[in-house]
Amino acid sequence: MARYLDIHPDDPQERLIDQAVRTLREGGLIAYPTDSCYALGCTLGNPEGLERIRRIRQVGKDHDFTLVCADFAQLSQFVIVSNPVFRLVKNATPGPYTFILPATREVPRRMAHPRKHTVGVRIPDHKVAQALVHALGEPIVSSTLLLPGEETPPTEGWIVQDLLDAQLDAIIDAGEVGTEPTTVVDLSHSEVEIRREGAGDPSRF
């Protein structure tokens, strides 16, 4: 049974954020809200967590995980950012965008794309998600909480609990969130490619 943490969306309680971070550091898998929709998350050094996400979502080894980062300085440790890409990403963050970029050596090989060695990165505009990554001190390895056969992610913590209680270690409830995942922008080659249209306006790219 997952720990259920009711966290204020605008003024996250430090003690509850610390409980969620402790769960992550102990190898746990959490469901948490972002500025687009719910996400599943674990730490970089948690290969079992990656497999649990793959099992829940029923995706293969080529699934693009996302590193949810606290700020641009943290993001740039894990992906290679050229000057033109820097401007594009900087102007769209924080916000509901995931950027696919070449991974640096800081990214474990098991979570980068096996052929392209790319990874998704984002900086969310959500106070609870921001509080989590700041307190953790490293990105949260994440994937949209979209279950097989469903068209949209769950919007509230109690729905996540009904669906996945036994498969998670903690669920964060910070009020209702959206149903659209991020807009995914592939910046890993010379041409910008919108891989998925979602909560973020793709026309800015």
CA–CA distance, 200 with 6 (Å, rounded to integer) = 27
Q: Cα–Cα distance between 39 and 90 in angstroms, integer? A: 22
Q: Which residues contact 87 (CB under 8 A, 6 or more apart)?
A: none
- Predicted TM-score (pTM) of the model is 0.94
pLDDT of residue 20: 98
Q: Is 41 in a helix, a strand, or coil?
A: strand
Question: In angstroms, rounded to a whole number, what is the distance separating the alpha carbons of residues 134 and 193?
Answer: 30
Whether 116 has a pLDDT exceeding 80, the answer reads no
Beta bridge partners of 6: 173
What pLDDT is attached to residue 63?
81
| pLDDT tens track for 154-177 | 999 999 999 999 999 999 999 999
Pairing of strands 66-68, 30-33: unpaired
Higher pLDDT, 189 or 55: 55
Q: What pLDDT, on a 0 to 100 scale, did the predictor assign at position 50? A: 93
Can you tell me the distance from the alpha carbon of 110 to that of 46, in angstroms, rounded to the nearest whole number? 10
Q: Whole-angstrom Cα distance, residue 166 to residue 36?
A: 24
Residue 5 pairs in a beta bridge with: 172
pLDDT above 90 for 108: no
Q: Could you count the other beta carbons within 10 Å of the beta carbon of residue 18?
A: 12
Sequence-separated (6 or more) residues with CB below 8 Å from residue 3: 19, 23, 169, 170, 171
Report pLDDT digits (tens) over 134-155: 999 999 999 999 999 999 999 9
* Mean pLDDT (the chain, rounded): 94
Q: What is the pLDDT of residues 14-25, one digit of tens each?
A: 999 999 999 999
pLDDT at 38 over 90: yes
* Contacts of 12 by beta carbon, 8 Å cutoff, 6+ apart: 127, 128, 131, 174
Reported as a single tens digit per residue, the pLDDT across 45-71 is: 999 999 999 999 999 887 878 999 999
In angstroms, rounded to a whole number, what is the distance separating the alpha carbons of residues 113 and 120? 9
Where along the chain do its domains lie?
3-200
The CA distance from 111 to 138, in Å, is 15
CATH of 3-200, one of 3.40.50.1100, 1.10.10.60, 3.40.50.10490, 3.90.870.10: 3.90.870.10
What angle, rounded to 10 degrees, do the helices at 14-25 and 127-136 form?
50
The alpha carbon torsion through 47, 178, 186, 63 (nearest 10 deg) reads: 30
**Residue 98 reports pLDDT greater than 70:** yes
Query: What burial class does residue 126 get, using C-beta atoms within 10 Å of its C-beta: 0-12 exposed, 13-18 middle, 19+ buried?
Result: buried
Q: One-letter amino acid identity for 48?
A: E
- Hey, what are 81's tokens? 């950012």
pLDDT at 114: 66
| Residue 120 confidence (pLDDT) | 93
pLDDT at 102: 93
